[in-house]
Chain A
Amino acid sequence: EDQVTQSPEALRLQEGESSSLNCSYTVSGLRGLFWYRQDPGKGPEFLFTLYSAGEEKEKERLKATLTKKESFLHITAPKPEDSATYLCAARGGGFKTIFGAGTRLFVKA
Chain B
Amino acid sequence: KAGVTQTPRYLIKTRGQQVTLSCSPISGHRSVSWYQQTPGQGLQFLFEYFSETQRNKGNFPGRFSGRQFSNSRSEMNVSTLELGDSALYLCASSLAKTSGSADTQYFGPGTRLTVL
What 1/0 flags go to B51-62 for Cβ under 8 Å of A?
000011010000
- Give the shortest distance, in Å, between B58 (CB) and chain A (any CB): 7
Total A-B residue pairs with C-beta atoms closer than 8 Å? 51
Inside 8 A of A42's CB, which chain B residues have their CB?
109-110
The interface-forming segment of A18-26, A64-72, A76-84, A96-104 is A96-104
Inside 8 A of B86's CB, which chain A residues have their CB?
none
Which residues of A does B touch, CB under 8 Å? Answer: 31-32, 34, 36, 41-46, 49, 51, 87, 89, 91, 93-102
CA distance A43 to B33 in the complex (A): 13
Which residues of B does A touch, CB under 8 Å? Answer: 4, 33, 35, 42-43, 45, 48, 50, 55-56, 58, 88, 90, 100, 102-110, 112
Closest to A44 in B: B107
A101 near B42 with CB under 8 A, answer yes
Per a CB cutoff under 8 Å, which of A43, A98, A101 touches B107?
A43
Inside 8 A of B104's CB, which chain A residues have their CB?
32, 34, 46, 49
Inside 8 A of B56's CB, which chain A residues have their CB?
94-96
